[in-house]
């Protein structure tokens, strides 16, 4: 998946001459916490976040419109030359950037101009879609050895039962790096027959199970 | 007026996918035989289930889908042709006359509705119904037509009633919930094992309804391994507060019996105790709020030998104000069915104690469920404070 598919392509923006008060008002009205600062040609000059503003306020007692900070220009407190991303970047690359740089948003720039914005919230939603079931299904967790062809061996069993696989997630096994944990959602109310077949083929089915409990 | 009627026709047993399929209506026969053995069910209590008309099925289903079900059941369609309608799958295979058998289950629930709403009986039970996973144009999870959805629409159109639907099946009552998700005059309450692992995957506390119907869907997803006390805590608190909040004219309860420790398809750790308590409170609240108008249907229940007959017998006994039994089951019933049962039958109304090994994370599970309950009810507790 690429950034273009998850970005907000009509972000609210500020001009460098806008005041901090105007920035705060816009953030509250539109319920956003990050605003790109752009010039007339939509070139990204900086980013201002709710957190940046709170940091320059002397204390919460001063949180009133007569504090001089509110009349400062955003260009004076914005993050200049912020990290940016491209609409064709992969979502997972962007995720890594968020994780490593600890920023909360990335302006998306193409042809030198602002074309969108992606926030950590957008990314989280994408993750929810990825793991969440939108179709009725049962979940089965299986520990497998990390070898080629293993996924085929497993999906073959679901195929034999005419069961639709809705999602497959692969996790590292915290106990043994030779293994992987497959978490599979299958469109069925009765996964028992498939679990039985998986076990017959020698697969280690972890769920239905819980730490310290045997069923 | 009769206290209650027991809706049943032998034709309901025609809803049968195969000999090995987990959904098995032999449980109706086992339950009735148990009740007759203790003289708790008389032939005069039984009323035949009618067949739902096509017009009635259309209250909840697409004409195209009904047509597919009919043709599939008459051998006119292949599995591949119906798979996109959820039919011909491993969960919901094609069987002969599946339309007729399904319409008979829906008709049973409509019979129950008419008895109660026309004042011929205070309460009515159709154990053949409770197929809560059926969708408008698609079968799902062993359910072809959704009898509760049809019955609730029917209650609205014919009797102009405000309906509370209560679903204590271990699976989320998704089909019924989505049917009334935007309807402020139908409230759905489902208590189930969390969808994190279990079919259908939905039933999160955040599913509260939409548009006009916002705030009239309630979900209580419990952790796997939840035991009686925590289950009943959630049930009792949610029922009281939601009855008080919604003030229904009539209550329809879905009484799936698959939250028991023995049930092969779920991971809750209920015992027979929950099946004594669930109907008691539903009964009491129906009298308090709905002038007694209580319609009950069956639902899931996949240990048909050790769990379902005892659980469903308790439901009928409660409905008819008979004392809930304790001690041994009738020997005649045990003798009759043990030869056929693949497992040793439980010889008493109570489960053996202990039924299972202690759950290592019991305290944490209870704590998590209590948190969930508070979050799910927050919306109405808040409103009260205003
Ligand atoms: Zn169920
Ligand atoms: Zn009563």
Give the model confidence (pLDDT) of A115-128 as tens digits: 999 999 999 888 87
In the structure, what pLDDT confidence band is assigned to residue A136 with cuts at 50, 70 and 90? Answer: confident
Q: How far apart are CA B290 and CA B283, in angstroms?
A: 10
**Which has more pLDDT, B346 or B90?**
B346
Q: For residues B298-322, give the mean pLDDT.
A: 98
Q: For residues B295-302, give the mean pLDDT.
A: 98
Residue A130 is predicted with a pLDDT of 75
In the structure, what pLDDT confidence band is assigned to residue A213 with cuts at 50, 70 and 90? Answer: very low
Q: For residues B38-60, give the mean pLDDT.
A: 98
Q: How far apart are CA B245 and CA B209, in angstroms?
A: 15
Q: Helices marked H in chain B — which ranges?
A: 26-37, 54-57, 63-73, 79-82, 98-117, 147-159, 174-179, 228-246, 272-290, 308-319, 331-337, 362-385
Q: How far apart are CA A99 and CA A93, in angstroms?
A: 10
Residue A207 has pLDDT above 90, yes or no: no
Residue A212 is predicted with a pLDDT of 43
State the ligand closest to the CA atom of B287: 2
Residue B126 has pLDDT above 50, yes or no: yes
Residue A211 is predicted with a pLDDT of 44
Q: What is the pTM of this model?
A: 0.88
Q: For residues A85-105, give the mean pLDDT.
A: 92
Residue B230 has pLDDT above 90, yes or no: yes
User: Considering only alpha carbons, which residue of chain A is nearest residue B139?
Assistant: A136
In the structure, what pLDDT confidence band is assigned to residue A71 with cuts at 50, 70 and 90? Answer: confident
Residue A134 is predicted with a pLDDT of 65
Q: For residues B58-62, give the mean pLDDT.
A: 98
Q: For residues B142-150, give the mean pLDDT.
A: 98
- In a mutational test of the A interface, the residue from B19, B24, B81, B91 whose CB has the highest number of chain A CBs within 10 Å is B91
Residue A214 has pLDDT above 70, yes or no: no
Residue B232 phi/psi, 5-degree rounding, is: -70, -30
For chain B, what is the mean pLDDT? Answer: 97
Out of A138, A162, A212, the one facing B89 most closely (by C-beta) is: A162
Q: For residues B357-381, give the mean pLDDT.
A: 94
Lowest mean pLDDT among A152-166, B135-149, B158-172: A152-166
Tokens found for residue B87: 């039919």
The 10s digit of each residue's pLDDT in B166-219 is 999 999 999 999 999 999 999 999 999 999 889 999 999 999 999 999 999 999
Helix B362-385 with B228-246: angle, nearest 10 deg: 10
Lowest mean pLDDT among A168-177, B110-119, B243-252, B369-378: A168-177
> What residue has token string 């098995």?
B24
Residue B300 has pLDDT above 90, yes or no: yes
Cα(B35) to centroid(ligand 2), Å: 18
In the structure, what pLDDT confidence band is assigned to residue A62 with cuts at 50, 70 and 90? Answer: low
Q: How far apart are CA A91 and CA A125, in angstroms?
A: 12
For chain A, what is the mean pLDDT? Answer: 88
Q: Check CB contact of A137 with chain B, cutoff 8 Å.
A: yes
CB B292 within 8 A of CB B337: no
Q: How many CA atoms lie within 13 A of B63 on its CB side?
A: 1
State the ligand closest to the CA atom of B316: 2
Cα(A102) to centroid(ligand 2), Å: 62
Q: What is the helix (H) or strand (E) element at residue B247, kind and residue range? A: none
Cα(B258) to centroid(ligand 1), Å: 6
**Which has more pLDDT, B384 or B6?**
B6
Which residues of B make CB contacts under 8 Å with A?
A: 22, 83, 89-91, 133, 140-142, 171, 174, 195-202, 224-225, 264-265, 267, 359-361
Name the residue among B58, B62, B68 with its Cα closest to residue B106: B58
Residue B244 is predicted with a pLDDT of 98
Q: For residues B272-298, give the mean pLDDT.
A: 98
CB B199 within 8 A of CB B176: no
């Amino acid at each position: 998946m690429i950034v273009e598919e998850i970005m907000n392509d009509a972000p609210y923006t500020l001009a460098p001459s806008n005041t901090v008060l105007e920035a705060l008002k816009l953030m509250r009205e539109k319920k956003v916490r990050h605003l790109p600062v752009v010039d007339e040609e939509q070139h990204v000059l900086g980013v201002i976040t709710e957190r940046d503003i709170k940091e320059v306020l002397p204390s919460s007692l001063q949180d009133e419109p007569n504090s001089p900070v509110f009349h400062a220009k955003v260009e004076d407190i914005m993050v200049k030359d912020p990290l940016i991303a491209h609409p064709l970047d992969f979502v997972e690359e962007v995720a890594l950037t968020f994780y490593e740089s600890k920023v909360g948003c990335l302006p998306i720039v193409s042809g030198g101009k602002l074309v969108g914005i992606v926030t950590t919230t957008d990314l989280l939603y994408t993750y929810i879609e990825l793991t969440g079931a939108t179709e009725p299904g049962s979940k089965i967790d299986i520990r497998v050895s990390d070898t080629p062809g293993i996924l085929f061996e497993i999906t073959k069993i679901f195929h034999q039962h005419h069961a639709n696989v809705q999602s497959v997630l692969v996790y590292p096994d915290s106990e043994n790096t030779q293994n992987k944990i497959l978490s599979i959602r299958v469109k069925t109310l009765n996964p028992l027959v498939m679990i039985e077949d998986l076990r017959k083929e020698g697969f280690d089915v972890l769920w239905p199970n819980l730490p310290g409990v045997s069923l | 007026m009769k206290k209650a009627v027991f809706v049943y026709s032998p034709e309901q047993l025609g809803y049968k996918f195969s000999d090995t399929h987990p959904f098995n209506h032999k449980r109706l026969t086992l339950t009735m035989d148990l009740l007759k053995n203790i003289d708790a069910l008389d032939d005069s209590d039984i009323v035949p289930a009618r067949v739902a008309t096509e017009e009635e099925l259309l209250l909840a289903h697409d004409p195209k889908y009904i047509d597919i079900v009919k043709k599939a059941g008459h051998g006119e369609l292949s599995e591949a042709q119906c798979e996109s309608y959820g039919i011909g799958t491993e969960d919901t295979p094609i069987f002969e006359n599946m339309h007729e058998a399904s319409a008979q289950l829906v008709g049973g629930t409509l019979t129950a509705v008419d008895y109660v709403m026309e004042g011929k009986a205070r309460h009515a039970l159709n154990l053949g119904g409770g197929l809560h996973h059926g969708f408008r144009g698609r079968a799902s999870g062993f359910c072809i037509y959704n009898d509760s959805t049809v019955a609730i629409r029917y209650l609205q159109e014919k009797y102009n009633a405000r309906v509370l639907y209560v679903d204590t099946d271990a699976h989320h009552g998704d089909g019924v919930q989505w049917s009334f998700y935007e309807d402020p005059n139908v409230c759905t309450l489902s208590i189930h094992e969390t969808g994190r692992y279990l079919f259908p995957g939905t039933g999160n506390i955040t599913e509260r309804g939409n548009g006009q119907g916002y705030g009239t869907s309630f979900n209580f997803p419990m952790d796997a391994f939840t035991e009686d006390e925590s289950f009943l805590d959630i049930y009792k608190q949610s029922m009281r507060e939601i009855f008080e909040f919604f003030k229904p004219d009539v209550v329809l309860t879905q009484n799936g019996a698959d939250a028991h420790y023995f049930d092969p398809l779920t991971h809750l750790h209920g015992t027979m105790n929950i099946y004594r308590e669930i109907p008691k409170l539903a009964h009491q609240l129906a009298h308090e709020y709905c002038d007694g108008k209580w319609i009950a249907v069956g639902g899931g229940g996949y240990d048909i030998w050790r769990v379902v007959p005892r659980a469903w017998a308790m439901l009928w006994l409660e409905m008819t104000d008979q004392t809930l039994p304790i001690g041994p089951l009738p020997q005649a019933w045990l003798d009759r069915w043990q030869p056929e049962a693949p497992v040793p039958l439980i010889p008493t109304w109570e489960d053996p104690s202990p039924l299972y090994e202690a759950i290592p994370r019991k305290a944490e599970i209870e704590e998590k469920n209590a948190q969930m309950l508070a979050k799910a009810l927050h919306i109405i507790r808040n409103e009260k404070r205003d």
